[in-house]
Each structure stands twice: as structure tokens, then as C-alpha cells.
Amino acid sequence: MLFNSSEFILLFLPVALIGYYSIGYLRGPIAGVTWLVLMSSVFYSYWNVAFVPILAVSLLANYALGRAISHKPNRWLLALGVGANILLLGWFKYANFLVDNIDWAFSTGIDLPAIALPLAISFYTFQQIAYLVDTYDGEEAETNFLRYSCFVLFFPHLIAGPVVLYKDVRRQLTSPETYRFNSTHMVFGLTIFAVGLFKKTCLADPIGPIADALFRDAAAGIVPSFGEAWFGTLAYTVQLYFDFSGYSDMAVGLGLMFNIRLPINFWSPYKSGSIIEFWSRWHMTLTRFLTTYVYNPILMSLTRRRMRQGKPLLRRSSFALVPFIMLLVVPTSLTMLISGIWHGAGWQFVIWGLLHGLMLIINHAWRAFRHAYGIGPAVGRVFRPLGVLLTFTCVALALVFFRAGSVAQALIVFQGLTDVTAPIYLPRSTWLERPDMLLVLIGLAIVWLLPNALEWIGGFESDGAEASVTAKSAQGVWFSVWRPSRWQWRPNFRNGIVMGALICFALIRVFGVVPSQFLYFTF
């Protein structure tokens, strides 16, 4: 069931909301949680009921392990839990990839039947790994299986994130106020959901065919022209942005409708002035997970080892930066390699992850150089527009590997991207025949010139009292997204017209075409 489908909007969501507030108000938090678990199970089962037993076993096993670790912290028990989760994910997601590559390298003749990938396994596996690690580190474990199931299964974030930590929702799931109707949260939730729906249906989906045509031709061995390659690459870059940020907005909006604040997963990443800043704004909860549970442990291990050997992290010499940079290379490369592999089983994802690792290492080295030689932030502010353009270009080029079905397909696209002898501009007739191409430019204008949805729908003032929605960023800092401005969204006639138009355009698309799957559903 898709968020952008008529059955979800007209049937599932109203039933889920009415039942939630009716049962939760009359019977209390446990009844409300039970209803959410039931509806989330129906939502997941709608995709493929055959995957439900796998999810159920994962829930039961991780809940039991969490209780055991909480009762008596044990490193081997934690290793068992984390290892079992990784093995489960590895079998379904990477077994075919590994067998195919082993057979290619050694001609083993092994023929492993295609293994279907259970929906959302990448997301709920990471969430439960984080839960086990946090429990081992002293976080309070959940003693109620229904609440634990709701934390994992809550349908707004189940399929494509955000990657939620239990501490993000623990107090909310236990508070009686969560199960009582809140008109302010409902208004904000509906509005944010509507903006996300508009992004998906009216921007991402119409742009998609441009990118699809480029990579379909590349898969057939057709080298695109310079203009086609660049415009198709830009199209996919914009499509992915509005598709994923649209889903993230809808997830946050749906969470607010149920009085549950989910962590923000997107914060205008294409406005980033560096690749470090980009990863603090793009898929923010995945960045949080990788930083907390992969990067930091590796970096701390290397740092402790170097200090035990009596070697300083920095030396006062012409090579003072070398140890610092080397300490970044290993954890950064491994972290981004894991990020690439997590996104998909293919060498193209490995290359995508390593490219981002390389860009992060260069960015960290530049920051270390600036700090060591006293180059102040004023220089960065002056060149920020150039930094934004450079970062966007690097991200777009790396996304060629992210979108391609294979490395060979990506290299064919890069042949077109580097063919400077071909015409740079697309013919004028092409623009007239393909007005959807204008959406790419409109999308870039929206991305770079307008505030994001949560900046715009930050809050409103009513009767002199500010009612601001707060959200938790991926770095764990609470902040208000209220931005006083004459253009700030408020529940007034003007914004009612704007929102009505957005909803109408989105619903026309919902009811007029077959709903398309979100791009991150395949991960």
C-alpha cells in the first residue's frame, strides 16, 4: 500500500486514525498501541503476506535479546544479536550477489535461485541493531512487547525510514496525551503530508521518465549525447530529491497525525556547501546511525590504539596533518562502504559509497588544513555559492552509479557526460515537445530558492500565543522550525488557497494515474 494511493488516503488512513483516537481515548495507551500495531501489520501485509513471518521472528528475537541484555549486559550476547541481524539481512539481500561473483571468479557452477528481498528489511534491521547496542550501553529496554512492536512497525516509517531509535519515541508511546486527539498536530500533520504528496506526485513522478529513458538506453548499450546525459543525470538527481524528501515529509506528517514526532530525515541537502554538510542534511537518520554505530567506534578504536603506542594524533612538523588524515581514511571509507552496500547489492553501490567516502576524506582534510593554517570561516562564506554548486555536481555525478543497474551501464552514461565534442544545448524543439523537462529546472529552482517544507510549515501564532511544532534532528538536538516571516505558513485564507491547490493537483495525480513506488522502497 502506497502513501500516494487512493486506498491509503481514502480508506486505510481514516480507519487507522478513527480507531486510534477512539480506542486510545476510551481504553488507554496499551489499547492505542495495540491498534497501531494491528494497523501497521495490515499495512505491511498488504505488500506481501509471505514476508510477515520473517518480520515477526525478527521482532520476537530482538525483543527477547534486548530483555536479556538489559537484565545482564553481555558483550557476547550483543555480538550474537547484531550478528544474527546482519546475517538475516545478508542472506536475503546479498546472497545472490555473493554467489554470482564467486561463480564468476572461480567458475564454481553454483546456481542459487533468486531470493526475494523482504520489504523494509534494511530499515527495521538497522533500527533493531541500534536498539540492542543502546540497551547494552545502558538505555532502558522496553518491557512491553506491544510497545516494542509499535516502535519497529509504526507504518509511517516502516518501509523507507526515517531510521528511528527507541529513545526517539519511548516517552511518546507511554504518554496518555499521545492517544488523545490534538487538532494542532492534526492540522500540521495533514499540511506536511499534503506537501510531501505534492512533491511525489507532481514533481518526482513526472520527472522520472527523463531519467528512465537515459538509463534504459544505457542498459541497451546506447551512448547518450552530451546534453542527454547531463539532463538525464540532473533529472534523476531532482527526481530522487523530491521522491525521498516527499516520502520523508509524508512520514513526519503522518506521525504528527498520530501525535508521534518522528525525527527529521531531510533538511535541504542540495543547499549544502560541502559534502560533510550534505550528509548532515541528506537521509539524516541513516547518517546518525552510521556515525553513532559504525564511524565513531572505528575512530575511537584507532585513536586508543595510537595513544597506547605513545604516538600523538598530531605532530608539529611539515607532516603534522598526516596522522590526522590517516585516522579519517579508514573509518570514513568503511562507513561509506557500508552505506553503499546497505543501499543495494551491486558493485555500482560499492563505487557510489567509496566515492562519497573519498569526497568526505578530501573535505575533512581541507577543513584540517584550514584549521592548521588559520584560514577563517570568512573565506568559506565568500565561496559558499561555488561550494554549493561543486557539492551538487559531485553528488549528481555519483548518483549515476546509484541509479545505474550495473557498473557497465554507469560507464556508458559517463561516456556521454564527458563527450565535450557533442552539442551542449538541447534543440529548442525538444523543449517544446517535452515540457516535462521544464520541471527539472522548476525543481532546481524550488530546491535552491525556496525554504523546505518544514521551514515553511514551521508554526503559527494564534491569539498572541505561538504554537510551534518542534522536531528532533538526526543529531539529537531539539529545535523549533518556527521562522517568523510574512510568508510563513499560517492557517489563514491565503495559505488555505495554496494548500487547497497543492492537494487538488496531488489528488488529480493520485486518482488519474497508477501510483508509482517510492525509489527507496527497493532498498
What is the pairing mode between strands 459-462 and 465-468? antiparallel
Residue 285's nearest CA partner among 228, 247, 319, 315 is: 247
What's the rounded Cα separation, in Å, for the pair 107 and 101?
9
Annotated active-site residue in 157, 185, 283, 343: 343
Distance set, CA 424 to CA 356, 416, 419, 421, 499 (Å): 27, 11, 9, 8, 39
Close Cβ partners of 21 (under 8 Å, ≥ 6 residues apart): 179, 180, 181
3-state secondary structure of 469: coil
Q: Where are the alpha helices (DSSP H) in 373-512?
A: 377-382, 384-403, 407-417, 428-433, 436-449, 453-456, 493-512
Compute the residue count for the chain.
523
Helix (H) or strand (E) holding 84: helix 75-106
d(CA 66, CA 140): 10
Smallest CA-to-CA distance from 523 within 118, 177, 48, 30 is with 118
Stated as kind and residue range, the H or E segment containing 85 is helix 75-106
Cα separation values, 335 from 289, 357, 388, Å? 10, 8, 24
CA 193 to chain CA mean position, Å:
16
User: Could you tell me which of 151, 136, 163, 9 has the C-alpha nearest to residue 68?
Assistant: 136
Residue 478: strand pairing partners? 472
Half-sphere exposure in the Cβ direction for 70 (13 Å, CA): 15
User: What are the cell numbers at 106?
Assistant: 572461480
Whether 343 sits among the annotated catalytic residues: the reply is yes
- How many CB atoms sit inside 10 A of residue 181's CB? 14
244: which residues sit within 8 A by CB, 6+ positions away? 160, 266, 283, 518, 519, 520
Catalytic residues, by residue number, are: 343
